[in-house]
Structures are given as C-alpha cells and as structure tokens.
Amino acid sequence: MKRSAIVFFLLGLGFVSCKKNELNGTSNIHGKVVHHSKAIPLARVFIKFNAKEFPGADTTVYDAKVWSDANGNFSIDCYKGDYYLYGYGQDLAIDPPYTVVGGVPVNIRKNEDVSIQLAVTEGD
C-alpha cells in the first residue's frame, strides 16, 4: 500500500512540474508587429495555447493577450509548447487608418528565447 502511494505521489508531482502551454514560464517569445516593415504600435497580440494552426479571427477563442508597445514590440514569458499568435492593430500611417491582422505559429522549448516578426496585413 505504501509503495502505490509513493508511485501516485511521484506521478502527480510529474504532472505538476511539467507545465506546457502556459504563461509566466522560463521561455520567452519576443517580437515586433509589422505591416510592410512598419511597426504597428499598441497592437493586441492574442495567444492560443497548444495550437499549430490558425484558430480563427474570433479573439474570444484565444487564451491570453498582450499589447505591443509604442514601437510595436511585445514579449511573452511562457513554458515550452506550441502557441499561435494573432496580431490585431491599426496602421495609422495610412489615411484613413487600416485594420491590420495576421498570425504565426510558434514552437518553443524549455528556457528558449525566440524572436519573431508578426507580419500583419489589411483585414476586413
């Protein structure tokens, strides 16, 4: 009986310590939201956990979001896993301003630092 309790404890510990597809981990995805090589300031970057393909434009299905800064830069601390990032913003350099959207899948390993460009294009 004691042996099986130890086995269950160790299995439970393994599930708790092996986090995937969550935020605030030791890995980092950082990048810039760009439209035709121009930075898109204050864009929203939606994050879908455990996704390799575009989950769709409905932002309510995403698990988290971050904002890009005034230079279009963003940073996401996460755990290893697959993520889909979907950028949504306004290109204010065009008159009238255009809504721009786009996405990219990202796979990240434990303690890895990944740099990306999140290219966006004119949306609907």
Pairwise CA distance, residues 80 & 25, whole Å? 8
In a domain, 5, yes or no: no
The pTM (predicted TM-score) of the whole model is 0.82
- The tokens describing 67, both together, are 């904002």
- Answer yes or no: are the C-beta atoms of 55 and 49 closer than 8 Å: no
In a domain, 45, yes or no: yes
Instruction: State residue 1's pLDDT score.
Output: 54
Instruction: State residue 7's pLDDT score.
Output: 44
Residue 39 belongs to what domain range? 21-122
pLDDT tens profile 1-47: 556 544 444 444 444 455 566 799 999 999 999 999 999 999 999 99
Instruction: State residue 95's pLDDT score.
Output: 87
Q: The domain spanning residue 96 has which CATH number?
A: 2.60.40.10
Q: Any bridge partners for residue 104, and if so which? A: 85
pLDDT tens profile 58-94: 999 999 999 999 999 999 999 999 999 999 999 998 8
In a domain, 13, yes or no: no
In a domain, 9, yes or no: no
Q: Of 6, 101, 116, which is closest to residue 46 (Cα–Cα)? A: 101
Tally of domains in the chain: 1
- Average confidence score pLDDT of the chain: 88
In a domain, 11, yes or no: no
